Structure 1
């Protein structure tokens, strides 16, 4: 089997865990590849890499059985961009606090590798958001796992986002911005702006305003079979649009449309983990300070 490891910078204390991951994969007969960013991290930490192969082109990911993301949720989002339409299964190993996407703790690396070998895992298909625009944005990487966001720049005054669903007028949001979230992204920026939690398998988008001027405006859940388009107005000539952690400035003349991507992100989930377990732990459900 073949596996590619992806990661971006590590603290020195994580060095033994990375060494353990590479050793276990090699011992189980994996051909271990690494991305360029992970390779640079190995060099900084002084970890031997003679037995490793370097991914020189994204097309090589079609040959992989797995991509292993080592880091936090942001690193896994980056791995989704790398994999793109290849739909190579991604496993997330968390180097810090519990994540919603990278849920495997560093102390469970041995169990995680054995899960891959024994194939005792589930593949969760996560829908992606796709951006159509009349100007190329994000260097052609026009998809995201979490959300698409329109936002004002810096400390400029609020903007108005005229929003349409399948061409029908929905609302004009007077706000700092507007988020179009996937079910996966419902635990991210949308949640912090008052959006609902949605099961990852749901077939929906969430439209969540950021600091709306009209207090009677609320987040809205719509089918992900719809197309959502926008017209932006504001005192500033430039606005920010983002896909997950990638952002770029645009002006109001750029036509924007959001729909569901044709391909999905496939996340490896161990049988011992579930989305609902993560919710309870991450959000401290059931925890009472009085106890």
Structure 2
């Protein structure tokens, strides 16, 4: 850890303070190693802004929603993030809560590596909202409201991608390929791959599939018809009028901290999504190596 960034921040979901034992142990480990510690349970953005210059690690404790919030706050400030799972799925997080004290030890001792993740920047120049730019780690979505159908024109680097009568479109990062994009028919992409996935939502077309593109492209969506809204990681929904533009471009980079024992992408697929796992397995074999039971 850099000498001028010997501060560790903890972004904690409110319910996690009801079970503080492991979290308190992790804080004690950090302080014993000479690190200062701050904790945000409510107003995370204000707290992080106050400590950004000295923070060398942000630990998110909760589920994927807490990690997404931490990523959006930390990436523009070049603060690496360690995700700790206490949610139901925790696909994005790297370690379980019981491993947190050991992960803090590994970080302060330098036994970790950083993996890059891509964020998207969503710009809404015609929205009329107080803010016109948002960040997303998983995806940007343009979607019709209710049962309405939308007509969307999509361009990639100013070249026509297509005009779709559809429920909407998803522009996902490789990290977000395992989220809404996957449930909408998109492919799984390893988050280390520098790619975007564009997924039309329920298009009225005989042949329409998700398309994988380089992450450096700029995607422009124009609402030609219909009542729609734009969302970034589901944390904001901005109504759009007909004729509105939605611009999706590369955002800041996020660095995720991986310590010994962090979950790999393939392990997450097996354990969280049961990808590639047989319908029946024995209970006495190690995770990830379970075989078929005998009839």
- The alignment's TM-score, normalised by the length of structure 1, stands at 0.86
Q: Which residue of 2 aligns with 1:244?
A: 233
> Is residue 145 from structure 1 mapped to residue 145 from structure 2 by the alignment?
no
Q: Is the contact between residue 122 and residue 271 of structure 1 (CA under 8 Å) also seen in structure 2? A: no
Cα distance between partner residues in 2 of 1:249 and 1:243: 12
Cα distance between partner residues in 1 of 2:124 and 2:279: 49
1:117-136 mapped onto 2 (5 Å cutoff): 117-135=108-126
Deviation of the 1:161 alpha carbon: 1.1
Classify the secondary structure of the residue corresponding to 1:216.
coil
> Is residue 168 from structure 1 mapped to residue 159 from structure 2 by the alignment?
yes
Q: Which residue of 2 aligns with 1:4?
A: 9
- CA spacing shift, 1:150–1:235, aligned 2, 3 Å: closer
Classify the secondary structure of the residue corresponding to 2:19.
helix
1:92-135 CA distances to partner (integer Å, 9 max, x unpaired)?
11113452221210111122111112111111110111223324
Classify the secondary structure of the residue corresponding to 1:271.
coil
Q: Is the contact between residue 4 and residue 67 of structure 1 (CA under 8 Å) also seen in structure 2? A: yes
Cα distance between partner residues in 2 of 1:265 and 1:59: 20
Give the one of 19, 38, 46 matched to 1:33: 38
- Alignment size in residue pairs: 273
Q: Which residue of 1 aligns with 2:275?
A: 285
Q: Which residue of 2 aligns with 1:42?
A: none
Give the one of 175, 179, 187 matched to 2:178: 187
Classify the secondary structure of the residue corresponding to 1:142.
strand
Classify the secondary structure of the residue corresponding to 1:25.
helix
**Where in structure 2 are there 5+ consecutive unaligned residues?**
1-5, 281-292
Q: Which residue of 1 aligns with 2:286?
A: none
> Is residue 258 from structure 1 mapped to residue 263 from structure 2 by the alignment?
no
Q: Is the contact between residue 35 and residue 55 of structure 1 (CA under 8 Å) also seen in structure 2? A: no
Q: Which residue of 1 aligns with 2:287?
A: none
Moved more, 74-83 or 13-22: 13-22
Cα distance between partner residues in 1 of 2:95 and 2:130: 30
Instruction: Kindly report the root-mean-square deviation, in angstroms, between the aligned alpha carbons of the 2 structures.
Output: 2.2
Classify the secondary structure of the residue corresponding to 1:37.
coil
**Where in structure 1 are there 5+ consecutive unaligned residues?**
40-53
Cα distance between partner residues in 2 of 1:140 and 1:147: 17
Q: Is the contact between residue 22 and residue 101 of structure 2 (CA under 8 Å) also seen in structure 1? A: no
1:68-87 mapped onto 2 (5 Å cutoff): 68-87=59-78
Q: Which residue of 2 aligns with 1:208?
A: 199
Classify the secondary structure of the residue corresponding to 1:10.
helix
Deviation of the 1:57 alpha carbon: 5.7
Give the one of 218, 233, 257 matched to 1:268: 257
Classify the secondary structure of the residue corresponding to 2:193.
coil
> Is residue 91 from structure 1 mapped to residue 82 from structure 2 by the alignment?
yes
Deviation of the 1:242 alpha carbon: 0.7
1:142-183 CA distances to partner (integer Å, 9 max, x unpaired)?
221111100111x23111111111111111122111000011
Deviation of the 1:277 alpha carbon: 1.5
Give the one of 156, 162, 178 matched to 2:169: 178
Deviation of the 1:59 alpha carbon: 5.3
- The alignment's TM-score, normalised by the length of structure 2, stands at 0.85
